Amino acid sequence: MKIICAKDYSDLSRKAANIISAQVILKPESVLGLATGSSPLGVYRQLILWYEKGDLDFAEATSVNLDEYRGLSANNTQSYHYFMHKNFFDYINIAPDHIHIPDGMAADPDAECRRYDRLIADLGGIDLQLLGIGRNAHIGFNEPDDHFSKYTHQVDLTESTIAANTRFFEREEDVPRQAISMGMQAITQARKILLIASGADKADAIYASCFGPVTPGIPASILQLHQDVTVIADKDALSKCP
Ligand code: F6R
C-alpha cells in the first residue's frame, strides 16, 4: 500500500486525476471503477479540464460505478446516476453504452446484483478502481459487518452512513435506507486501486484501514491484502497515521 500525503484537496484531486489520466492514456479501453460523493468531485473536475484541453480521450473507456441508492430512478437528482452525469459523464466523450451503474429501481434486486457482477466479469474486470471511504471505513456501500460481502448486494445503510449522507438531502428522512453496492470481489480484483480521503473526519477510518487488523468490521482494511493500492489523502485525513 502506497500512501501519498497531499498538501490540500486540490493537490489530492490533481494527483489522483494524474493517475487516472495515465491509466487512460496507457490503455484507452480501460474499465474504470468510479465513485460518487464529495471526495472525487475535484478529480472529475480536473479530468474534465484535461479532456477539454485535448489531453484525454474517453471514447474507448468503460465505467462501472460502485453503487446506487435503492428506490431512486436515474433522473432523480439525488441518484448516483444523476450525480455521475452532472459531475463527469456529460462533459467528456465516454460512450453512453459504456456507462454502467447499478439500477436502483430494479424490481428484482437480487437479479440486478447478479447482472452487475456478470457485467463486470464480461468486461474482464476493472483496470483502475477509484474509491472514497466512509467515516466507518466503508468502501462502496460495503458497511462494517461480521463478514466481507463478496458479490454485488443490496445493503441496509448504517446510521453513520445515513447521517453522513444527509448533507446531500433536504431532510434526513429523505435519505434512502438501502443501496445496491458492488461487493469486495469486484473491488479487490481491480488491477489497481486508488483511494482518496480528505478531512479530519476520515482520519480514524484511514488509520484503521491502513494500519489496523484486516477485518470486515473495518471494510477498507481488506485493501491491505491488495498488491497495488495507492492512498492519496490530505494532512487531516492522515493525522492519525504514523
Ligand atoms: C460512493 C461510495 C462511498 C463514498 C464514501 C465517502 O460511490 O461508494 O463509499 O465514497 O461514502 O463519501 P464522501 O466522499 O462524500 O465523503
Of all protein residues, the one whose alpha carbon is nearest to atom 2 of ligand 1 is 140
The set of cell numbers assigned to 47 is 479530468
Q: Average pLDDT for residues 7-36, to the nearest whole number?
A: 98
82 neighbors 69 (Cβ within 8 angstroms): no
Of all protein residues, the one whose alpha carbon is nearest to atom 9 of ligand 1 is 140
Any atom of ligand 1 within 6 Å of the Cβ of 132: yes
Any atom of ligand 1 within 6 Å of the Cβ of 202: no
Q: Which domains does the chain have, with CATH numbers?
A: 2-234 (3.40.50.1360)
CA of 36 to the centre of ligand 1 (A): 6
Please say whether the dihedral angle defined by the alpha carbons of residues 17, 22, 25 and 30, taken in this order, is positive or negative: negative
Any atom of ligand 1 within 6 Å of the Cβ of 79: no
Quickly tell me which residue has 432523480 as its cell.
Answer: 76
Cβ neighbourhood burial of 94 (10 Å; 0-12, 13-18, 19+): buried
CA of 39 to the centre of ligand 1 (A): 7
For residue 56, pLDDT over 90 is answered with yes
133 neighbors 205 (Cβ within 8 angstroms): yes
208 neighbors 240 (Cβ within 8 angstroms): no
Any atom of ligand 1 within 6 Å of the Cβ of 134: yes
pLDDT digits (tens, 9 = 90+) for 23-44: 999 999 999 999 999 999 999 9
Residue 85, CA atoms < 13 Å, CB-side half-sphere: 14
pLDDT digits (tens, 9 = 90+) for 95-133: 999 999 999 999 999 999 999 999 999 999 999 999 999
Counting atoms of ligand 1 from 1, which one is nearest the CA of 80? 7
The set of cell numbers assigned to 180 is 445496491
Compute the mean pLDDT over every residue in the chain, rounded to the nearest whole number: 97
| Residue 179 bridge partners (DSSP) | 69, 155
Please say whether the dihedral angle defined by the alpha carbons of residues 182, 24, 134 and 77, taken in this order, is positive or negative: negative
For residue 165, pLDDT over 90 is answered with no
Contacts of residue 137, Cβ cutoff 8 Å, sequence gap at least 6: 144, 205, 208, 209, 218, 219, 220, 221
The set of cell numbers assigned to 216 is 470486515
For residue 164, pLDDT over 90 is answered with no
User: Which active-site residues does the annotation give?
Assistant: 67, 136, 138, 143
pLDDT digits (tens, 9 = 90+) for 184-230: 999 999 999 999 999 999 999 999 999 999 999 999 999 999 999 99
Any atom of ligand 1 within 6 Å of the Cβ of 66: yes
Counting atoms of ligand 1 from 1, which one is nearest the CA of 138? 9
Whether ipTM exceeds 0.90: yes
Residue 11, CA atoms < 13 Å, CB-side half-sphere: 9
Contacts of residue 108, Cβ cutoff 8 Å, sequence gap at least 6: none
How much is the pLDDT for 167? 87
How much is the pLDDT for 168? 86
Counting atoms of ligand 1 from 1, which one is nearest the CA of 35? 7
Of all protein residues, the one whose alpha carbon is nearest to atom 11 of ligand 1 is 134
Strands ordered across the beta sheet of 31-34: 2-6, 229-234, 192-197, 128-131, 31-34, 62-65, 99-100
pLDDT digits (tens, 9 = 90+) for 66-91: 999 999 999 999 999 999 999 999 99
Q: What is the reported pTM?
A: 0.97
| DSSP symbol at 190 | S
